[in-house]
Structure 1
Amino acid sequence: MSEKMEVDTPTTAATEEKKAEHVTPSASGESAAEHPDMKLAQAIHKAVLMSSNKIPMDTAHIDTLKADLIKMSNPSLIESLASPLQWDLSTVDIAGMKTANETTLNELEEKVKEAQENAGDMEVLEARIAVAQFAAKSMSKKEALAMYQLVLDLPKLSSGKQMDALMEQSRVCSFYSDTLKNKDYIAKISKLAEESGDWDRRNRLKVYTALQNILTRDMKTAASLLIDCIATFSCTELCSYPNFILYTMMTNILYLPRTDLKAKIIDGSEILSVKDDVMPVFTLVKCLYDCDYKGYLQAMVEVESVLLADRFLFPHAGYIMRELHVLGYKQFLDSYKSVTLTSMAQSFGVSVDFLDVQLSRFIAAGRLTAKIDKFGGVVETNRPDLKNAQYRDMIQQGDLLLNRIQKLARVVDV
């Protein structure tokens, strides 16, 4: 009789306490597939920026990346990067790579057939996963996703193993920056996580979801998910711990109250353990908390280069820098009923003209509740009255409710 794969027990109120006994152990960051390598994805991102003169050129980085790509033997990826990296492929044996990959793939598929004929379901699963992992390393995105789909199509596959395969598909999409498909895979994982799945998989799913939210600029949701995982991060297959802390700090600085910023970020033991790896961002947060606005703007200059060098944050560098400016100006103005432009400019270490332009733009956009008295050279804050705002909202909602009741009454009368 063939050996069966583990099958999840249906979750009911009676079995909830014993759920963990019926769940396949999670593939933690250490045991997850080696490829796609997200460090390589970061290296590719930096190299492309260097080739387009958006960040300083580092020829050693480019040369190391090309050597790593050749070692991976992924002709599809190499060909797609030839133009962005200005890479002459005449010295690269693309045809030989394709031939070697086809031979390896056939050998792995033979092992799958052998397992189907002579072994059990678990051996078939392991052989099929080996094919998918090879595809993630040396084949195209489309082929890698298709091979993991064959894993998902296996019968009697536990929900835990399904989540692992879907996470690998999500990583493939993340590697190639395919946010649309990645969104679908994360939705499938989330649905499975609601029905079953161990704590570690659910915890890792938060990181997968958060990074997807960063790419789609849902920073607030990402911030909440990331800060929940600080003490329990195990998703090293998706990003390094310092990078995880970087994402946590950059998103949460925009939303955390000042007291929480101190307790959870500045004094957080986990963050302090990697502070040196994220020093520009840590300095930014510390200066904001200490009301050192001149240091805050200076830190923003260094942080911008950090944003540009990171593949998840790069698309939103301009947005984040704008929000950081608003954050600093708002915190400063909240302390005053009115303040001179000269005094405020001195606090931020900028010229009066620069500050005037910045404040005017943010005030006109409704981002700052203040007005500028150009004649007197004064910025006056105009804090909204919370009680009056709540009263207006109540009146508007009341009118809406009365209109709906009247419409319903007319329908009933008819």
Structure 2
Amino acid sequence: MARRQRHWPMIAASQAEGSLAVRLYNDPVEGRSFEGFVVHMHLAWLYLLHAEFTRDGKDYRYRQRNNPRLLERVDGEPKRWELAKCVAERWPTDDPIRRNIEFFIGLRNKIEHRYASNADLSLAVALSGYAQALLLNYEEELVGQFGEAASLAGLLRFPLFVGSFTDAGETTLRRLRKALPAALRTFVSEYESGLSNDLINDRRYEFRLRVTNELAPKDSEALAIQYTRYDDMTEEQKAIVEELGRKGLVVVREQKRGVLNHELLKPRQVVDQVAQQVPFVFHMGHFIKAWQKLMVRPSGDSDHPERTDEKYCYYDELHRDYGYTGAFVKKLVRDLKTVEGWRSFFEDDPQDKESGEWIIEPEQNLPQQRRSVETDPSRTGDE
């Protein structure tokens, strides 16, 4: 009888952690269910990647810096790579699967043993798409590496839920979303400020659904709930789905944005912080054009001032003004710190902060025509 391969106990342990994570997440009476989900999915991924490395004969033990022939040890046992190290070894930097796992590694450090159960519920509502992506990525990696026999699909069931299918459920979810602690809102915004839009919109980073009732005749072979990948749809089906999304006819995720003013920046503070970090003159006129270009918030006469991009801006209903996040500052600094970036963003030449001279491309004979941003730093229009 052939000896069972060394990595199979690791796979079994990984499956057990993944199953426990989902059970905790779906338990309506568990006070810290989301925290438990994050912790146990962390372990599920760690054991899975250790199983892959073991199967492939890859040494994932730390070695002493002064003598690489000797292993580092903790309580007499070899010190093995933590999840962050494993993920960095498995995927390139901007892979959405890696970014999703790293998001939860950072989140775990923020939430473990720190917040009460009401914050846990708010997290589960606000980050459900990220959590679903984390689980689906895990399932695909598990099956892709070790075959269909390793799948969790036979162990897990789609939970029964109310969610936003009822008016009362939608109201409750909105309330919970708004209750998310400011520090965690800031963590999400700042983490995503360094990611490309393509990565953020990738289903492997955050999994989002729009749900409709099936109107076709019942198929005896069909499941009650089935998921069809966008990439597997026909062009006609894709067009229908995109039209539904544009019209917002079947939106499950609430559209009203949160109202918050804690740890947010006033327009002048944004201007001052960006101006300190870029080598060019940056003033209120640039700030106004920046939020307009990035569609960070509606215009001043909008009937829905709360419809902001929550990564960068929130509407304060009490004071009827806007607050901007640190992620917005980072975004502007990243885009505007070079001559090329400035020209791409503003379609204009930058003005050197030290000398006050315009940095004009040699082929530009009419630079004044490109300077569409007001140069008066005292501008105080629609901030």
Same fold (TM over 0.5): no
Q: Point out the structure with max Rg over C-alpha.
A: 1
Higher helix share: 1
Whose relative contact order is higher, 1 or 2, with alpha carbons under 8 Å and at least 6 apart? Answer: 1
